[in-house]
Amino acid sequence: MRIAAAGFCCIDVYNNLKKYYPTGNGVDFAVHMNRLGYASSLISAVGNDSYGELMKETLKKEGIDISHLHTLAGSTAVIQLELNGNDRVHGDEDEGVMEQFSLTQKDIDFILTHDYLHTDLFGRILNRLPFFQSSGLKTVFDFSTFLQDERIERILPSVDYAFFSYEQEDNFIRDYMKWAKNLGPSLVTVTLGEHGSLSYDGQAFHKGESIPVDVVNTVGAGDSFIAGFIHGIIRGQSIPDCLKSGATLASSVITQFEPY
């Protein structure tokens, strides 16, 4: 089983703490899937700067295939963060060379050698999703908290496993999940922070519980949850067990500062 992550990658920088690390939705997902035993690749772009070298060195150590991680002239994407208690607060964002990134034909051919493809709203491959899905890849899409993004309605028909983040279980999110499911995904899943998670298969809602832990930093919780969930899907687990698998991995990640 081969996993491809094609999406936004960056360095999270906490200036007040003098800490930083390589991350991004696809980066975190690929690292966790690789640790779970799946050959994983990252298709994205970094700059020819020290942050770019850090990204490449870190992923090499993790065993990620970075043969299609482009090094472009310019700066690696950076997101400024602060901690509010144990919750991250986003500050300024510099996309750097991600603004220039687009898939080459070699990238496309490489992605087609995988079984699953993970991406996000900022990975710059949205126009290729219908092709990848029709070619047989299972598509995993992390919409994060952007439930109102105008592109979602166009994206969902090309998504097999859709993931969103929201703050609570209520009528709005249940109706939203039904709407999203009707557009095409096999499953729509929403992480609800301390309130657990919810998955909808078109017939029933399945509730997952969060696992109480001492939280250090919530960064990476959603990405690790998705990895744990997809791990369950690949193993043929029931939806409740997939939710538990996601929660278990996420609970281990938020007890540490870095996202993996």
> Does some domain include residue 258?
no
Inside any domain, residue 259: no
Could you tell me if residue 201 is inside a domain? yes
Asked if pLDDT for residue 255 goes beyond 70, the answer is yes
Task: Please report whether residue 260 resides in a domain.
Answer: no
Distance, in Å, from the CA atom of 113 to the CA atom of 130, rounded to the nearest integer, reads 16
Tens-place pLDDT, residues 175-193 = 999 999 999 999 999 999 9
Res 257: pLDDT: 80
If 0-12 CB within 10 Å is exposed, 13-18 middle and 19+ buried, where does residue 92 land? exposed
pLDDT tens track for 114-164 = 999 999 999 899 999 999 999 999 999 999 999 999 999 999 999 999 999
256 or 183, greater pLDDT? 183
| Residue 35 maps to a domain | yes
- As a whole number, the mean pLDDT across the chain is 95
Domain assignment present for residue 56? The answer is yes
> For position 192, which CATH number holds?
3.40.1190.20
Q: Record the tokens describing residue 108, joined without a space.
A: 């496309």
HSE (side-chain half, CA atoms, 13 Å) at 119: 27
- pLDDT greater than 80 at residue 239: yes
Spatial distance between the Cα atoms of 20 and 71, rounded to a whole number of angstroms: 20
**What residue numbers bound the domain in which 209 lies?**
2-253
pLDDT digits (tens, 9 = 90+) for 26-65: 999 999 999 999 999 999 999 999 999 999 999 999 999 9
Considering the domain boundaries, does residue 64 fall inside one?
Answer: yes
Query: How many domains, the chain?
Result: 1
**What is the CA 87 to chain-centroid distance, rounded?**
18
Task: Tell me what the mean pLDDT of segment 92-106 comes to.
Answer: 95
The angle formed by the CA atoms of residues 57, 59 and 63, to the nearest 5 degrees, is 115
